[in-house]
Structure 1
Amino acid sequence: MMLEAVELTKHYSGHIVLDHLNLQVKSGEVFCLMGQNGAGKTTTLNLFLGFIAASSGQARVDGKLVALGQQVPDIAYIPEVVMLYPYLSSLENLDFFSRLAGFRYPKDKLCDYLRQVGLQPEAFEKRVGQQSKGMRQKIGIAIAMAKNAKVILMDEPTSGLDPQAMYEFNENVRAMREAGKAILMATHDIYSAVHSGTRIGIMKQGTLVNTLRADEISANELEKIYLTIMRS
């Protein structure tokens, strides 16, 4: 199992933000976590990344226990706003972050990664600060691919994307799924959850209250289930 939460719990000064979460994501799966702000989605990602310590329970990546501040191998993180160097080009950012992860590629291989995620060739040498959010998200995915990450965590990656950019992003997620990546994505985007996910978990007040198969439900049905849970 590539990602596993076992009774994973986090509280601050007695306030529970994540309550005994049990979750598994295997290779070739996209698990979409949905819920209102404060439901525990980002806390879950932060625990898997080792950014914060669990109050109890375990977070495991590829069978290895994650500890606070520990560098987690084989994992890539794509946040809502991908943090890149604005004065470097797409190629320069990809090269820099690949080297940081211990990988050195010739220019033609770096270009291949950017092509695979759908970035247009004219953007390869363009400064990232001059590019749209959708284009920066593609660079973030290219970095994850170049790092050869087995596990990819995403936090609201489609927020603020226009319909075309959202479609292209979901195509990239499906491609990563088919390549055997294990993906955990926190999202408010019902369309993306249904069309690029394999399973969908709905969280409320720190608890995973429902899990659904994406191929057995439509976006309209998911919306109704989600709203019913939020209103209960």
Structure 2
Amino acid sequence: MTTSSAVAPRLAARALTKTYGAVTALDHLDLEIGAGDVYCLLGANGAGKTTTINLFLNFVAPTSGQALVCGIDVTRDPLGSKRHLAYIPETVMLYRQLTALENLDYFAGLATGEQFSRDQLVQFLVDAGLRADQATQRVGGFSKGMRQKVGIAIAIAKRADVLLLDEPTSGLDPKASNEFSELIGQMRARGAAILMATHDLFRAKESGTRVGIMKHGALVAQMNTAEVGHADLERLYLAHMKD
């Protein structure tokens, strides 16, 4: 298949498969995601969404096939592939006793090896949707949505080519969820390729350029979000979820 971008894919799965004994968690996934593409993976728990992300992160090794980040096989060069990506899980893990600025300084420096000025760090946080005065607040008092904004700031500082998001809007209130969708749009405009695993059909339609439906480890349907309405997406999803 082709991507929505004319350039080579930033993320690619080639017959990517993961089995655990007799259980197939991911079954010969073929997928390409290009710059400026937001691909949303939908499916029930256990469908293979998180397994897909974990394979791109090299958290688990594939049984067969390849996971490629900017053309780099993640199993052959895990450090090289990670230089191009940022990962935002359902709950962004930060040091609660440190401020947003201190967390960003630490994680951005760790990821890039660069020393950023205070003004640069504050700007990254502002670009990610935090107010400048929140930069000096301890993240222990932050909401989930605010912690995610620190995660986005780390991705901005890293100049990540790829974002991997695992259930990022789970547990967010409507306002925070909408703000997160706006941030995804900004990262897309920066040219990032984004893979998001989600249960949120509405946000998948609003944020995604493409949607894929997974079931029992297989990609059973995919479509361009511009070509399907909210009601049609829900109908298609529910039809595929029937056994």
Gaps of 5+ in 2: 1-8
Distance 1:16 1:67 in 2: 19
- 1:230 is matched with 241
SS in 1 for 2:41: strand
Distance 1:23 1:3 in 2: 8
Is 1:5 the equivalent of 2:46?
no
The size of the alignment, in residue pairs, is: 232
- TM-score, scaled to structure 1: 0.98
Q: CA deviation at 1:69?
A: 8.5
Is 1:65 the equivalent of 2:76?
no
What amino acid is the match of 2:171? G
Distance 1:14 1:57 in 2: 18
SS in 1 for 2:165: strand
Superposed, which structure 2 residues align to 1:109-188 within 5 Å? 109-188=120-199
- State the identity as a percent: 53
Q: CA deviation at 1:118?
A: 1.3
- 2:104 is matched with 94
Deviation per CA, 1:160-183: give whole Å up to 9, x if none: 001110010000000111110000
Distance 2:218 2:120 in 1: 43
Q: CA deviation at 1:191?
A: 1.3
Greater CA drift, 124-133 or 65-74 = 65-74
SS in 1 for 2:122: helix
Is 1:78 the equivalent of 2:88?
yes
Match of 1:103 among 114, 122, 125: 114
What amino acid is the match of 2:95? Y
The alignment's C-alpha RMSD in Å is 1.1
- 1:53 is matched with 61
SS in 1 for 2:136: coil
- 2:40 is matched with 32
Q: CA deviation at 1:103?
A: 2.3
- 2:4 is matched with none
Distance 2:163 2:114 in 1: 17
Q: CA deviation at 1:68?
A: 7.5
Q: CA deviation at 1:120?
A: 1.7
Distance 2:86 2:49 in 1: 17
What amino acid is the match of 1:132? S
Gaps of 5+ in 1: none
Q: CA deviation at 1:70?
A: 2.4
Deviation per CA, 1:177-205: give whole Å up to 9, x if none: 11100000000011111111000000000
Q: CA deviation at 1:87?
A: 0.4
Distance 2:134 2:232 in 1: 39
- TM-score, scaled to structure 2: 0.93
Distance 1:69 1:78 in 2: 21
